[in-house]
Structure 1
Amino acid sequence: MNRLKEQFKKSASVNGSYSVGAIVLVLCVVVLVNMLASRLPESVRKVDVSDNKIYEITDTSKKLLKKLDQKVTVTVYAEKSSTDERIRTFLNKYQALSKNVTVKWVDPVLHPAELTKNNVSENSIVVSCKDTGKSDTITFDEILVTDAYAYYTTGSTDATQFDGEGQLTSAINYVTNDSQNKVYYTTGHGESSFSTSVQDQLDKNNVSSEELNLLMTSAVPDDCDLLIMNGISADLTTEEKDQIESYMKSGGDVMVLLGNIEGDVPNLDALLKEYGMQRVNGYIADMERCYQGNYYYIFPDISGDSDLMNGMSTQMVMMVNAQGMELTDPERDTITTTSFMTTSSNGYAVTEDSQEKGTYVLGAIAEETIEGEDVTAENEKDSDTETETVKSRFTVITSESMLDSQITDSFSTLENLTLFANAVTANFDGVQNVAIEPKSLSITYNTMQHTGLIGFACIIGIPIIVLIYGFQQWLKRRKA
């Protein structure tokens, strides 16, 4: 024992004991930090390093979840361990943003009766709100979206888009909201049908749509919250113009996207002029705000209120072969007309015979406050009458190409669909655009083209500098 005590008195033993104690202390600290970190919310614990930031949640969803005052249950009918990790991770991060969102997992293998009881299939998510009694079902295929074209051409079934945020935010907005808005889109004037991407924007905003031929009805339906003419290229009849005017004078909202108009359209032009807009001849080119020297591929200068700018980070919208307008005095003092999309000052209205330079309007909104008939107050003790005031909104975009799927699907960074969805929901009271586009799962390669001096420096310059430095060091040591 004395010999053992003498060994521990040596400096080497003392230093070794300190080292062991320090290692034990560090291990204890690491374990404690990990235990504390595991208690932090998912949004803090995990940093999104995925390509294209598929776990990054937009401000639109954060605002919705922050204002959420109803309990929402997200029930996942799938085996948790075998569920795609991207879905599991996103659900955890999404749940952490609100105390009113609860995620539950139901294993269909252990509880097969739950599928029949709730009328759902395996690999589905049911979003429900007890307060409203509403529910919405999302399948995994709607979150991990595959390219149908690639499947039929190459047989590939790999997901190309991740739509977790878009589907969940839309479902929560639906189950916690009692109202549903309806859009009618006109036919009979060369209009275009909505693309899948556009219809998806409407669905996510809880907006239903239905076709309407004005020649087959005497008036715009009473349940119409917004009348859309998408790509109108032929003139309205006098009766149709009268129906639209009557609808707007009673507080109705109308949106027009101009198509490839050839020839005279006096009734359509008269409707535009009534609200302070006048078409100019020819197609619009822009020498300054254009796509790679293609002057008819325009990036409009966008400005507007917060409703139109909601969720737009780049404000990059493309329009092709657009027509132009100039703002004039509306026919009534109650109408206020403002533009929200224009060309630069280097815009041109081009016809076969002329090129007129100017700043042209590519999108405008006319709003009118209408004083209705006097109505008697419901309270019998109050014999006073009050005037009912309604508002109408007339939105015009000068090219249907803004919704062309060949543009919206080919340029993922453009915000055409976001601006359209904002323009639609701006017509509804208390409704904000919550349609979030899917995020691409394609791999982004960090490549540099036409590197110039940078490429010369990396390929030749740096190696030469290293060689010269090495030669100097060798020569210095040799002389020493």
Structure 2
Amino acid sequence: MSELKKDTVAENTAEVKTKTDDDKAAKSEKTEKPKKDKKKGGFKNFLKSRKARHGSIAAAIVAIVIALVIVLNIVVSLLVGRFPNMVLDFTKESSFALENDTIDYVSHIDKDIKITVLTTEEKFEGSGAYYIQANKLLEKMESASNGKIKLNYIDLSSNPSISQKYADADWSKNSNMMIVECGDQYRVLTIDDCFEYDKDYYSQYGTYYVTSSLVEQAVVTAILNVTTEDKVVVDMITGNQEQDSSAIKTLLQNNAYQVNDVSLATGDLDEDAKFAILYAPSVDLDEGTVEKISKWLDNDGKYGRNLIFIPTENNVDTPNIDSLLNEWGMQVNPGYVYETSTDRLVSNSSPYIFTVDYTDYYTTGLKNPNIPVVTLFARSVTLSDSSVSHALLTTSTSAGIYPTDADDTWNYKNGITGENINVAAEGVKSNTDNASSKVVVFGSYSMFTSDIMSYNSFNNSGYFMNMINTLADKDNAGITIEGKSMQNAELGITDATTKNTLFVIFVIVVPVAVLITGIVMWLRRRNK
């Protein structure tokens, strides 16, 4: 029994000792502070860990991408500075892009051209958005010219002697913007040449509020002028109460023709003139003036000269002019031509404003023969002698003539003959050497006003210049460039297919691709 008691006491003592040791160990764990890992090479081990390895790779990728973007931006900036035509223009009106006609023209220039802007580039661009646009267009012209055009900026205030070199310019006004020169020939372009602006705003505040740019047209026509050495002479016959012919004059001058005003009451037509224009006289010519014109056209039997006659809308009694035209197989009739074919009408409110058809003359060389010529309140031109005359522009067979003596009982159907009516015609006389003189008659002077010829949807200026250039034996068909407005800055995307494609790409495909890529990368990292 004593042995059993001893064993029991021993067991109890062992249990107590074990519990005490456990309590001490637990207490020691609670009170003892965690020791830092003092292993050497701990940072290296961290770099070798999966966590550090993935983080380093991500950081390296980010750094490389940022570096590539910076380098790419620098390279692109240098390339754009060296090659401005690399700049893409997504504006609706292609405000910063050259017209195809301009690119084609400047790329074939064979003479050295210098364009000098009369201020610093910084000040020029600092004048507003249209000046920034102008600078970009000038840079693109320089780039497209294959080294023939040189663009530079000179501060006029620091170089006042420049006004002495170009003495023909008017330096009294502070509106000269740039000089275009080739050899000894130069042309100074003003703000009026280069921009359209609000005249009322200028008169009220004395500052220019630009509404559109004409820089491209102005510079191209200036280049055309300074590179043309022997200009064809055109005499505008004056002194007969003519209508305003400034639009035709400007068109001819822009295409490197020398235009002179000549009064036949006191002088004669120039011997070296190839053209004479009688633009909408309100009175008849006297017999002496008609005789001078006839003699000039005959040119002692050598011919080679051309008269362009455009009557006024008013039915003026002009027997002497009628006699001259009759010698060339043509007659201008009273009344107004109207059109009943609705697909010809420009305005549904007026049957006197409509498009006409070309004949086979002066269409070769037209840049776009699909664009029609429009006529307004035209008088018909009858071929009195078809052996020497032919039609140039005609109406449809649905047109008619409104007579000057029509009363309230007149019906428009009565004026329709069912035949084409001529609104422009030409008479030709030739000699045995095949040299010809020609008289061209257009039935409407309104079709050559500045408002009508400024519309690119009509071919009036293009047809007129193509006819003039053909008669002058000039290959250049003239350059007509539309002014550029920056009122609309949105992307120039109008067709539904392109819009839908861009929508799908940037709104659906790109975001979904980014989302899927992110999910895949997250799952791969989590499973490693």
After superposition, the Cα gap between the structure-2 partners of 1:240 and 1:140, relative to the gap in structure 1 and judged at 3 Å, is closer
CA separation of 1:419 and 1:155: change in aligned 2, threshold 3 A: farther
Q: 1:179 aligns with which of 223, 230, 241?
A: 230
Residue 483 of structure 2 corresponds to 439
Do the aligned partners of residues 313 and 126 (structure 1) sit closer, same or farther apart at CA in structure 2, a change above 3 Å counting?
farther
Residue aligned with 2:432, SS: strand
Q: What is the SS of the residue equivalent to 1:393?
A: strand
Task: Please tell me whether the aligned partners of residues 275 and 330 of structure 1 are also in contact (alpha carbons under 8 angstroms).
Answer: no
Q: Using the TM superposition, give the Cα deviation of residue 102 of structure 1 relative to its aligned residue in structure 2, in angstroms.
A: 0.8
Name the CA distance, whole Å, in 2 between partners of 1:27 and 1:304.
64
Alignment deviations for residues 70-105 of structure 1 (CA, whole Å, 9 cap, x no partner): 111112220211103122212111111112111112
Structural mapping, 1:155-170, within 5 Å: 157-170=208-221
Does structure 1 residue 298 correspond to structure 2 residue 354? yes
Do the aligned residues in 1 keep the contact of 2:362 with 2:470 (CA within 8 Å)? Answer: no
Alpha-carbon offset, residue 60 of structure 1 = 3.4
Residues 1:89 and 1:371: Cα distance change in structure 2 (over 3 Å) = same
**Is the alpha carbon distance of 1:215 and 1:112 closer, same or farther for their aligned partners in structure 2, counting shifts above 3 Å?**
closer
Instruction: Letter of the 1:230 partner, please give it.
Output: Y
Shift of 1:306: 6.7
- 1:211/1:271 Cα in 2 relative to 1: closer, same or farther (>3 Å)? same
Tell me the secondary structure at the aligned position of residue 245 of structure 2: coil
Q: Check whether the contact 2:371–2:459 (CA below 8 A) recurs between aligned residues.
A: yes
State the match for 1:343 in structure 2.
Answer: 395
| One of 422, 446, 450 as aligned partner of 1:361 | 422
Shift of 1:342: 2.0
State TM-score, norm by structure 1.
0.75
- Normalising by the residue count of structure 2, what TM-score does the alignment of the two structures yield? 0.69
Name which of 211, 215, 224 aligns with 2:273: 224
* Aligned mate of 1:94, from 129, 138, 141: 141
Correspondence 1:117-266 to 2 at 5 A = 124-130=177-183, 133-149=184-200, 151-152=202-203, 157-195=208-246, 197-217=247-267, 220-249=269-298, 250-262=303-315, 265-266=318-319
1:249-328 maps to which residues of 2 (within 5 A)? 249=298, 250-262=303-315, 265-288=318-341, 289-293=344-348, 294-302=350-358, 310-311=366-367, 315-327=371-383
Q: 1:104 to 1:406 in 2, by over 3 A?
A: closer
Which residue matches 1:468?
none
Distance of 2:362 and 2:75 partners within structure 1:
41
- In structure 1, distance between residues paired with 2:486 and 2:369: 21
Q: Give the residue type in structure 2 aligned to 1:160.
A: T
Quote the Cα distance in structure 2 between the aligned partners of 1:414 and 1:366: 25
Q: Do the aligned partners of 1:42 and 1:96 also contact (CA within 8 Å) in 2?
A: yes
1:251 to 1:8, Cα distance in 2 relative to 1, 3 A: same
The alpha carbon displacement at 1:290 in A equals 1.4
Q: Which among 388, 399, 418 is matched to residue 444 of structure 2?
A: 399
Alignment partners' CA distance in 1, 2:370 and 2:330: 27
- Measured in 1, the distance between the counterparts of 2:363 and 2:185 equals 27
Query: Could you say what secondary structure the match of 1:439 adopts?
Result: coil
Distance 1:233 1:112 in 2: 48
Aligned length: 421
Distance in structure 2 (CA, Å) of the matches to 1:396 and 1:438:
28
State the structure with more CA Rg. 2
Evaluate the alpha carbon distance shift between residue 50 and residue 306 of structure 1 in structure 2; reply closer, same or farther with a 3 A threshold.
Answer: farther
- CA distance in 2: counterparts of 1:153 and 1:198, whole angstroms: 31
Moved more, 91-100 or 45-54: 45-54
2:507 aligned partner: none
* Matched-pair identity in %: 19
| 2:152 maps to which of 95, 104, 113 | 104
- Describe the SS at the equivalent of 1:423: helix
Distance 2:97 2:253 in 1: 22
Shift of 1:444: 5.4
Q: Does the 8 Å contact 1:336/1:368 carry over to 2?
A: no
* Equivalent pair of 2:401/2:415 in contact (CA under 8 Å): yes
Write the mapping of 1:54-93 to structure 2, written as runs, cut at 5 A.
54-83=95-124, 84-93=131-140
Deviation at 1:327, TM superposition (A): 4.2
**Native 8 Å contact 2:354 2:375 kept in 1:** yes
The answer to whether the 8 Å contact 2:375/2:444 transfers is: yes
- The alpha-carbon distance between structure 1 residues 64 and 209, as it changes in their structure 2 partners (threshold 3 A), is same
Tell me, yes or no, if structure 1 residue 27 matches structure 2 residue 66. yes
Q: Aligned residue for 2:49?
A: 10
5+ residue gaps, structure 2: 1-39, 125-130, 491-528
Q: Equivalent residue for 2:496? A: none
- Is 1:338–1:366's contact at 8 Å kept on the other side of the alignment? no
Residue of structure 2 in register with 1:429 after alignment: 473
Q: Which amino acid aligns with 1:191?
A: E
How many Å separate the matches in 2 of 1:278 and 1:154? 53
Paired position in structure 2 for 1:475: none
* 8 Å CA contact 2:282, 2:316 repeated in 1: no
The answer on whether the counterparts of 1:228 and 1:255 sit within 8 Å (CA) in structure 2 is yes
- In 2 relative to 1, CA 228–15 (structure 1 residues): closer, same or farther, beyond 3 Å? same
- Measured after TM superposition, the shift of residue 137 of structure 1 is 1.6
Q: Do 1:308 and 1:423's aligned partners in 2 also have CA atoms closer than 8 Å? A: no
1:141 deviation in Å?
4.3
Q: Higher helix fraction: Structure 1 or Structure 2? A: 2
Distance change >3 Å, CA 306–CA 94, structure 1 → 2? farther
In the aligned structure 2, how far is the partner of 1:115 from the partner of 1:261? 47
RMSD: 3.4
Equivalent-residue separation in structure 2 for 1:113 and 1:29 (angstroms): 49
Q: Which amino acid aligns with 1:97?
A: A
Secondary structure of the residue that 1:175 maps to in structure 2?
helix
Give the Cα–Cα distance (whole angstroms) in 2 for the partners of residues 206 and 431 of structure 1: 13
CA contact (8 A) 1:298 1:318 kept: yes
CA distance in 2, matches of 1:153, 1:420: 38
Give the counterpart letter for 1:315 in structure 2. I
Q: Take 1:200 and 1:299, find their aligned partners in 2: how far apart are those partners?
A: 24
